[in-house]
Each structure stands twice: as structure tokens, then as C-alpha cells.
Amino acid sequence: MPIQTELPSLPAGPRRRAAAPATTPPEIAARALLAHERLCRAYGCPIAYFHALAPLDELVSSLLSHRTRNADSARAFRTLRERFPSWEAVRDAPVGEVQEAIRAATWPEAKAPALQRTLRAVTERRGALDLDHLAAMAPAEADAWLQSLPGVGPKTAAAVLSFSVLRRRALPVDSHHHRVAVRLGLIPAGLPVGPSHRVLEAMLPPGWDAQQVYDNHEVMMLHGQRCCFFHGPACGRCVVLDLCPTGQERVGGAAPGRDGTGRAAVPDGGGEAAG
């Protein structure tokens, strides 16, 4: 689908908790695509996948990563792999041993029993501890199956489908991605991260492949890490300032008329917890 270059109007979203919109207004979908194109130029799409894990490994990795810095959740994952010979051993171990192995992650006392519950549920439903059957499912069906597991929400399910070797079309939304989407007026400010998955994915062209959807997540996340900071977003050097109602409000409507060809010369904020 061609990217529209005509700028949509910039209504600010409501500030209170909001329900998911039933459909995406065309001007919002156009803004989402134009922002995607600008951010892809800035951050260099296609973006290489950072993982090539088996689906079950990715599920464990994703469960550990909630509200945890990337480096810390990676350390917790590595330690689990080193201390236990298999995920079956993690599932059946005394919970305190799992908790100790993942102490680099946030809330190990909650994540250890939750991880074991999820692994037990996979075993009960599959008759074995593996997720190989997901490869034969349509993305929506696989997403629903994953989200039926205890402790698995839309972000974890999408991470398994997109980031693992399955490489399926799915859009994870972390806290950086969500913040940028809210500020761009793509979703209402009060729409929580969970329900925002369906809304943001519905804005993407149905013909996009898994790499393009992955790129969309990555560039929105990178922009949140490197420019659209939680405190003090750097609107003055933002490549989507002219599309952004929040940025327009912050700079007093003085849009610089970017053509979107410049890279965002921003410090590397990678490793920030994304939730």
C-alpha cells in the first residue's frame, strides 16, 4: 500500500481512560503509515531480528522481560538455561530455585511461580512441553491459543509469534511503542497497552508481511527510547513533529516542515525497560 503524503488533521486524543475504538478513522491510519515511513528512514528498516529463539524459549524470555531492562532479563534467561538442563526441569523445580535463578529480573518472587504455572499449562494442553504446533496455525489462531495460557497477554503472545523463529505477523506493543502511539494521537491517551495491540495492528495494511509489522514495532519502540522520552520528549529534533498533536502543542505549533529524510541523531537509549 502506498504511503499517503498528505498530512492528516491533528486532533488531540481524550485524556481519560478510553475504550478501544471500533474502527480506525482513515486520517489516523494515514498518520500511522506516514509516521512509520519517516521512522523507518530514521532508524533504517528493515531492522534485523534480535532473537532466533524457539517459540517456547521466546515465551520464557518474554515472561521474564516484563518491566525489566533488556540486559537484566537476558541475564535471568541465561542463568535459567545454565542452571537447569531443560524447561521441564524448570517447570518441576522447587520454586525457590527458579526464583534464585531469575533474580536479575524484576519481581522474581512473582515471576518464578507464574513461569512454572505457564509451563505446566502448556504441558497439560499439549501433552508435552513444546509449542511446535503453533507453526501450523494461522497467526490469529496461534495468538488466541497463547493468550489462553495463564500469565500470557497480548504482548507476550505477539512476542512469541513475531520474535521467535516462527517469524509470524504479530505486533507487540511495549510501553515505549504505546507512549509514542498515544502522543501521535493514534490511540486515545486512556487506552491501556493490552487493548492497544488490536487497535494498532488493525491500522497496518493487511498486505504487510511479518518483517514490516516487526519493523513497525521496532521503530516505534526505538523512537520512544531515543527521542520521545517519557520525561522531556525531544520534539525539536523529532522526524514526526509535524504529524504529532502532542509535539505541536509542546512547541507551540511551530512545525519545522520536515521532509522525513533526516536520521534521528539521538543517543542510544537501548536497554531501557519497556514493560
Q: Does 98 bind ligand SF4 (CB under 6 A)?
A: no
34 vs 228, beta carbon nearer ligand SF4? 228
Q: Among residues 220, 244, 264, 266, which is the contact residue for ligand SF4, using CB under 6 A? A: 244
The x, y and z cell numbers of residue 14, run together, are 481524550
35 vs 119, beta carbon nearer ligand SF4? 35
Q: How many angstroms separate the CA atoms of 111 and 274, rounded?
A: 17
**Exposed/middle/buried for residue 226 (C-beta within 10 Å: 0-12, 13-18, 19+):** buried
Q: Among residues 156, 162, 196, 246, which is the contact residue for ligand SF4, using CB under 6 A? A: 246
Q: In whole angstroms, how far apart are CA 12 and each of 9, 95, 221?
A: 10, 47, 21
Q: In whole angstroms, how far apart are CA 223 and each of 35, 52, 121, 136?
A: 11, 23, 36, 34
98 vs 239, beta carbon nearer ligand SF4? 239
Q: Which of residues 11-40 bind ligand SF4 (CB under 6 A)?
A: none
Q: Among residues 149, 247, 260, 266, which is the contact residue for ligand SF4, using CB under 6 A? A: 247
Q: Which of residues 220-239 bind ligand SF4 (CB under 6 A)?
A: 227-228, 233-235, 238
Residue 103, CB-side half-sphere exposure with 13 Å CA sphere? 7
Q: Which of residues 167-206 bind ligand SF4 (CB under 6 A)?
A: 180, 183-184
Name the residue among 129, 145, 149 with its Cα closest to residue 137: 145
Q: How many angstroms separate the CA atoms of 119 and 162, rounded?
A: 20
108 vs 233, beta carbon nearer ligand SF4? 233
Q: How many angstroms separate the CA atoms of 9 and 245, rounded?
A: 9
CB of 98 to ligand SF4, least distance (A): 39
85 vs 232, beta carbon nearer ligand SF4? 232
CB of 251 to ligand SF4, least distance (A): 8
Give the interface with ligand SF4 as residue ranges (CB under 6 A): 180, 183-184, 227-228, 233-235, 238, 240-241, 244, 246-247
